[in-house]
């Protein structure tokens, strides 16, 4: 778990805990329930959650999922109750996050657990974010959000690893924790054609050429990819703004 939030964040967190007095961690509830799987118009995803704790950003470091992440990684931190039944099952599951204040959508992997403190109000519906996702979702309000240390409220759900993440070669599991070879449609309706590696990765704005609603077969996607510049380094975590992932929850279910 993460201990080292910003000092102001810690103070705010303590005051929230004492102000609300909720004790959702008193009982060890398992956050994952099999019935959470729902169908979107395109494929499988889990139900939307709405945070009720403030959404703080994380100091990077060594995570519950045994990886070191940085301020540039796309990381979602969830309740320890997601890790109760099987300690690492939820690691590398993908989450879609929507900030209603800015209309911005961002994706990240579950790589850490948060809120494992006595009498925490951090529930199954709450998340904290890496600095990269946090600033991305804050959009034009980033300076203000970084200053306060938190976003007000976000909506999020576990999704099938997005098309762009497969082309970037990032790991991923299905929302039910099983292995995902990154074929078939993502939860937003973009056809995925396997997880790339090495120079075959496609990142940045180029991703929009292989992740769009006109792509109906992987032969088509691979032909387009073969004409794109080879990958020569740079962040694989950077999601392309050019890929039009839907933002509003009511468009999705």
Ligand X SMILES: *[C@@H]1O[C@H](CO)[C@@H](O)[C@H](O)[C@H]1NC(C)=O
Residue 127 to residue 78: CA distance in whole angstroms:
5
Q: Contact between 178 and ligand X (CB under 6 A)? A: yes
Among 176, 200, 212, 249, binds ligand X (CB under 6 A): 176
The DSSP code for 188 is T
Q: Contact between 174 and ligand X (CB under 6 A)? A: yes
Q: Contact between 20 and ligand X (CB under 6 A)? A: no
- Among 70, 76, 115, smallest CA distance to 94 is for 76
Q: Contact between 186 and ligand X (CB under 6 A)? A: no
At residue 224, the 3 state secondary structure works out as helix
Q: Contact between 79 and ligand X (CB under 6 A)? A: no
> What are the backbone dihedrals phi and psi of residue 120, each rounded to the nearest 5 degrees, phi first?
-65, 145
CB of 34 to ligand X, least distance (A): 6
Among 118, 198, 229, 233, binds ligand X (CB under 6 A): 118
CB of 100 to ligand X, least distance (A): 27
In terms of CB distance, is 151 or 161 closer to ligand X? 161
Residue 245 to residue 174: CA distance in whole angstroms:
18
Which ranges in the chain belong to alpha helices (H)?
Answer: 7-20, 131-138, 142-148, 163-167, 207-210, 218-226
Query: Distance between alpha carbon 148 and the CA centroid of its chain, in Å?
Result: 22
Q: Contact between 119 and ligand X (CB under 6 A)? A: yes
Q: Contact between 214 and ligand X (CB under 6 A)? A: no
Residue 140 to residue 145: CA distance in whole angstroms:
9
Q: Contact between 38 and ligand X (CB under 6 A)? A: no
Among 1, 4, 11, 86, binds ligand X (CB under 6 A): 86
Among 30, 52, 181, 219, binds ligand X (CB under 6 A): 30
CB of 135 to ligand X, least distance (A): 23
In terms of CB distance, is 121 or 155 closer to ligand X? 121
Q: Contact between 52 and ligand X (CB under 6 A)? A: no
Q: Are strands 61-62 and 68-69 parallel, antiparallel or unpaired?
A: antiparallel
Q: Contact between 32 and ligand X (CB under 6 A)? A: yes
Site size toward ligand X (CB under 6 A) is 14
Contact 53, 121 (CB under 8 A): yes
Q: Are strands 44-46 and 37-39 parallel, antiparallel or unpaired?
A: antiparallel
Question: Taking contact as CB under 6 A, which single stretch among the options 94-102, 171-179, 199-207, 237-245 is the one that binds ligand X?
Answer: 171-179
Question: What value, to the nearest 5°, has the Cα angle with vertex 111 and ends 105 and 115?
Answer: 90
At residue 191, the 3 state secondary structure works out as strand
In terms of CB distance, is 79 or 209 closer to ligand X? 79
Q: Contact between 136 and ligand X (CB under 6 A)? A: no
Binding site for ligand X (CB under 6 A): 23, 30, 32, 44, 62, 66, 68, 85-86, 118-119, 174, 176, 178
């Amino acid at each position: 778990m993460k201990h080292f939030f910003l000092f102001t964040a810690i103070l705010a967190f303590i005051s929230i805990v004492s102000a609300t007095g909720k004790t959702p961690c008193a009982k060890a509830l398992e956050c994952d329930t099999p019935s959470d799987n729902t169908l979107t118009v395109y494929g499988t995803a889990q139900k939307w959650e709405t945070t009720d704790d403030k959404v703080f950003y994380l100091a990077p470091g060594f995570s519950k999922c045994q990886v070191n992440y940085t301020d540039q990684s796309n990381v979602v931190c969830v309740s320890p109750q997601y890790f109760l039944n099987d300690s690492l099952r939820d690691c590398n599951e993908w989450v879609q996050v929507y900030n209603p204040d800015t209309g911005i959508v961002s994706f990240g992997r579950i790589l850490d657990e948060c809120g494992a403190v006595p009498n925490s109000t951090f529930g199954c519906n709450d998340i904290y974010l890496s600095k990269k996702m946090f600033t991305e979702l804050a959009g034009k309000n980033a300076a203000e959000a970084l200053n306060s240390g938190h976003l007000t409220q976000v909506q999020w759900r576990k999704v099938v690893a997005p098309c762009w993440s497969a082309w970037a070669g990032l790991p991923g599991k299905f929302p039910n924790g099983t292995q995902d070879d990154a074929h078939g449609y993502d939860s937003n309706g973009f056809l995925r054609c396997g997880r790339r590696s090495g120079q075959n990765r496609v990142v940045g704005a180029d991703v929009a050429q292989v992740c769009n609603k006109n792509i109906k077969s992987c032969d088509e996607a691979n032909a387009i990819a073969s004409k794109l510049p080879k990958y020569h380094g740079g962040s694989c975590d950077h999601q392309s703004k050019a890929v039009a992932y839907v933002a509003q929850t009511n468009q999705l279910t």
